Structure 1
Amino acid sequence: MMLSILGPKYGSAKVGKQSQDRSAAFCDGVSRRGFLKVGAFAMGGSSLTLADLMRAEAAAGKSHSHKAVINIFLAGGAPHQDMWDIKSDAPSEVRGDFKAIKTNVSGIEICEVFPKLAGMMDKAAILRSVVGCSGGHDAFQCMTGWNHNDLKSIGGRPAVGAAVSKLLGPVDASVPPNIGLAARTRHVPWSDSGSSGFLGAAYAPFKPDGPGMKNMTLGGITLDRLADRRKLLGEIDTLRRDIDVTGAMEGMDAFGQRALDVLTSSKLVDALDLSKEDPKLVERYGDGKPYQYQYDGSPTVNDQLLIARRLVEAGARVVSLSYGRWDAHSANFDLVRDHGPKLDQCLSALIEDLAVRGMLDDVTVAVWGEFGRTPKINANAGRDHWPRVNSAFLVGGGMRTGQVIGATNRLGEEPSERPIHMQEIVATMYHNLGLDTASTTLIDPTGRPQFLVDHEPIGELI
C-alpha cells in the first residue's frame, strides 16, 4: 500500500496533560487514538511507533554527509567458479559449462553471462578469496559480519544498517536510514534485511512491503481518499482544530511531531514509486521476469536495485535486498544462465545510473552470498555448499576499483593468496560510510562498549 501526502506540517505542540477523550471517533470511524498512532512501524517482530524511532535517532545525532551502502545478498550461495573466478584450466568435472570473457581492465576475466559488467570492470573490484563463512544458509553474516552466536544472550550483533542508524541517525527525518527491501521468502533467513541485535527494535530496518507501510495508510481511509488531496487537507484542518480543542495535541512532544512529519512527507513513498521514474531507465534495469528457480527463495528483483538507488537519493543510508535463489544443488548451469544475465542487466544499470548522477563515489554496492559452491560438479549437474571460500563483487564508495584481490587454487577449493575475511568486507562498508572501525563502539545492554567488527577494512580498496 502507498502513503500519500497528507498536508502541511502540524504546528508545534505544547507539552501538557492529554485529553481523556482520545478514544472518540471522527466521522471516518478513525479514532483520535488511532490517528495519533498512525505510522507505527513493525520492526524486528515488535511494534514501534514513529515517535519512538525519532527519539532513538535524535539521541544518536545526525551526520551532514550522506554516504550510503546498497547491500545485495545473493541468497543461497552463488557459485564463485561460475561467476567471478572462472577456472578455465581445471578438469571438466570442476570447470563447468562457462567460458571466461575479457573485461575493460587488462588481465581481469569474468563469466560470459556478465558482458555488460565486463565493460565496466574499471568501476568494480572482485574479491576471490573470501573466508570466514560460518556455513549458515542465511543473510546474517553478510548483514553483520558476525555469526549468529556472538553476543546472542544479549540480543546478538546488530547489522550494518542498525549500527549506522544508531551512530549517524537519519539524513532526512521523513526517510528511515535503514531500509530492507527483501520480501519474506519461504526460507525466511534468505529475506533477512539485518537484525538490530542488542540495539533493540528502534534500529531494525523499515520494510516497505510489511506492516509498517500498511500502518502508514491511516487505517480505514482508502487509497482513493488518500489520493484526494483537497478533501483530505480539509479533514486534516478539521482534525487539527478538534485535537486542539480536546487538548490531545498538548500530549505530543517534539518527537511525536517528527513522527507526523514522516506521514506528511511524500519522499519515502515517492522513492518507492517507479511510475515517477523515466520509463527508459526502468526498462534499462528490467524487472527480472519471468522469475525462474525461485522455489523457497527470492525472485530476481531487478527493479529493487533501481528502488534502492531512489531510496538512497531520498536519504536512506543503508538499503538491503535479496536477489535470486542461488542454492543450485542441481541444474546449476541452467540457473546461472537465468540469474546471471538478469543480474548483469540491473547491476550494470545501477553502476551507470550512480555514475551519471555523481553518486558512485558516495554509494558502496556489495554483491555477495553466504558461501561459495563445491568445486566438483555433482551427479545432478549442481554444486553443493562450500564455506571454505567465497567471492564478492564491490562497486563505488570511493574505493580503488578496477582490480581483483585474492585468488584461489587451480580447482577453486581454497585461497591461494590474500584470504579476505567476511568481516573485512563489512569493515570496508563502515569505512566508506565514514565510520572508524578502530575506534567506534556501540554500548551493549550490559553497559560494555562493543566494536563494530574485529577486522580492519580492506587496505587494497581504501
Structure 2
Amino acid sequence: MRSIRDMRCHGNPLTQPGMFGRRGFLVAGAASGLGLSLPQLLMREASAEIKQYDFVKPKAKSVIHIYLPGGMAQQESWDPKPYSPMEYRGDLGTIKTNTGEVIGSAMPQLAKRADKYCVIRSMSHGEAAHERGTHNMFTGYKPSPALSYPSFGAVVSHEYGPRNNLPAYICVPNVPNEFAGTGYLPSSYGGFALGADPARSDFQVRDLNLAGGVDEARFMRRKRALEMVNQRFVTGTSADNVGAMNTFYERAYDLLDTPEAKAAFDLSKEDDKTRDRYGRNTAGSRMLMCRRLIEAGSRLVTMTYGSWDMHTSITSGIRGQMPSFDQGLAVLLDDLSERGLLDETLVMVTSEFGRTPKINADAGRDHWPKVFSVMLAGGGVQGGMIHGASDSTASEPELDPVSPADLATTMYRLLGIVADKELMAPGDRPIEIVDGGNVIEKILT
C-alpha cells in the first residue's frame, strides 16, 4: 500500500484540472540508471508497484527527442542573420522556407517543411560548459551539487511506465550522457540503450535474441519450467521480492516472446524505398528507428546525432554533418504525418547551447548559451511559426526569452504531466518535476 506521501503533489491529485497518468513512486533504491541492459531494466521495474490514474487525454502520446551534442550554431541553422556583417553571419547564406521565413542554406529539405514545425529562436540559459548546459536541456534544471535531477525520459517512464511490452524510455543508440539518466529516481526508470548504431550492417539490439543453442522449443520449455517453480514459491511465501522477481521474468519473457515488440527494433522490416528515403546513414537510420519505436509503443525515444562543437572551420563542419540530418528529419516529419502519427508525437530538436555571434580566428564559433534555437513539431505544437527572436547578431534574446524550465514544462504539459508535481527524492525531500517553468502557450494548438 502506497502512502499519501508517495503520491505527493500540489493539492488533491483527484481534483486538480489537467492531472492524469499518476504512477506510484518508489522511494528506495535511487541510482543513476545509465544504459541499462534489458534484464537490469525489467528486474528493477518489477520491484516497484505500478498504479496509474487517468484524468485527461494528452495531446502527445510520445516524444522523439533529437539531441545534437556539442552546441549547434543557431546562425548556420534555425536563426541566420543575413543582414549582419560577414564576421557575424558566416559564409553559408540562407534559404527561404515554404512559410516565407529563412533558415540556413544547408537545410533545403527542412525549408520545404517549415509549415510542419515551430522554431524557438529565443532559448537562453547561463551555462557555457558542455556538461552544465546539457544538464539544463535534459532536465529543465540548473545543475546542483546537492541533487541529481531525472531526465525527461526517466520522468516519463516514472509517470506512465511501459506500453505494448516496450521499454518506456529508449536511447538510440546509447544513453547520450550522464544527465540522460534517472537522477534521484530509482534506476528502474532509466533508458534502455540499443547498444549499437542501427546504421551498421551487422546491427543487433542487445538482449533481444535467445542465447546460443536455445531454440524456440527449448525457450518455451524453460519458460514452463520456471512458471512451475515460481508458482510454488509465490504460493509458499508472502515476501514481496518473490512476487517482484516473478514479475521481472514475466516481463522479460513477454518481450522475448512478443513478435511485435521485437520487430520494432528490426530495420530490415522496412522496405528499401523507405530506407533510401530516410538515408542509409547514421542520421537517417537512427531517425527511422525512432519512428518504429514510438509507433510500436515506446513513450520517449532520445536520439543523438553528430558533433556540433565547431570551434574551427564551422562552414565545412556544417556542410559535412547537416545534409544527412536535413534529409532524415524532413523525411521523419513526412513519414509521421503520412502515418497519422505527427499529431500525437512531439518531435523536439535541441542542443546544449548555441555558438558565439562572431566567427573566431579559427573560422569557428565558441560556446554561447545566452541565445540559441530549438525546433518542435507535432504533438500539439503549431507548425509554420517562429517563437521569440534574437537580436541582429544572435547575441541575446530580443523577444519572448525561453528557459530550459519553460521548454520542459511545455513538453510535460503536452504529455499530460503537471510539471510542478512533487516527487520524493532521497531523504523524503519533495522535489518538483520542474521548478518555475512556464508553458509556452503561444506555440500550442
Calculate the TM-score normalised by the size of structure 1: 0.78
Aligned counterpart in structure 2 of residue 255 of structure 1, from 247, 253, 268: 247
Using a 3 Å threshold, how does the CA distance of structure 1 residues 400 and 328 change in structure 2: closer, same or farther?
same
Report what 1:204 is aligned to. Answer: 190
Matched, 1:274 2:267: yes
CA distances 1:43-72 after superposition (whole Å, capped 9, x unpaired): 437783624313436245689877111111
Q: How does 1:29-428 map to 2 (within 5 A)?
A: 43-44=33-34, 48=40, 50-56=42-48, 58-59=50-51, 67-106=61-100, 108-138=101-131, 139-149=134-144, 152-154=145-147, 156-172=148-164, 174-183=165-174, 191-192=177-178, 194-209=180-195, 214-215=206-207, 217=209, 221-222=211-212, 225=213, 228-230=215-217, 232-233=219-220, 236-237=223-224, 239-240=225-226, 243=229, 247=232, 252-253=242-243, 255-256=247-248, 257-288=250-281, 300-428=282-410
CA distance in structure 1 between the aligned counterparts of 2:393 and 2:146, rounded to whole angstroms: 40
CA distances 1:191-210 after superposition (whole Å, capped 9, x unpaired): 45712111121111111218
Matched, 1:434 2:434: no
Contact 1:101 1:110 in 2 (8 A): yes
* Secondary structure class of the residue paired with 2:309: coil
* Secondary structure class of the residue paired with 1:81: coil
Contact 2:98 2:112 in 1 (8 A): yes
Q: Which has the larger radius of gyration?
A: 1
Contact 2:33 2:182 in 1 (8 A): no
Using a 3 Å threshold, how does the CA distance of structure 1 residues 249 and 262 change in structure 2: closer, same or farther?
farther
CA distance in structure 2 between the aligned counterparts of 1:53 and 1:407, rounded to whole angstroms: 43
Q: Which amino acid in the other structure matches residue 446 of structure 1? A: G
CA distance in structure 1 between the aligned counterparts of 2:227 and 2:358, rounded to whole angstroms: 72
Contact 1:133 1:371 in 2 (8 A): no
* Secondary structure class of the residue paired with 1:101: strand
Calculate the TM-score normalised by the size of structure 2: 0.81
Report what 2:13 is aligned to. Answer: none
Which deviates further from its counterpart, 344-353 or 393-402?
393-402
Aligned alpha-carbon RMSD (Å): 2.8
* Secondary structure class of the residue paired with 1:281: helix
Matched residues, percent identical?
35
CA distance in structure 2 between the aligned counterparts of 1:328 and 1:157, rounded to whole angstroms: 28
Cα deviation for residue 171 of structure 1 reads 2.1
Report what 1:21 is aligned to. Answer: none
Which deviates further from its counterpart, 80-89 or 452-461?
452-461
CA distance in structure 2 between the aligned counterparts of 1:137 and 1:49, rounded to whole angstroms: 28
Contact 1:129 1:407 in 2 (8 A): yes
Cα deviation for residue 274 of structure 1 reads 0.1
Report what 2:427 is aligned to. Answer: 446
Report what 1:6 is aligned to. Answer: none
CA distance in structure 2 between the aligned counterparts of 1:444 and 1:170, rounded to whole angstroms: 22
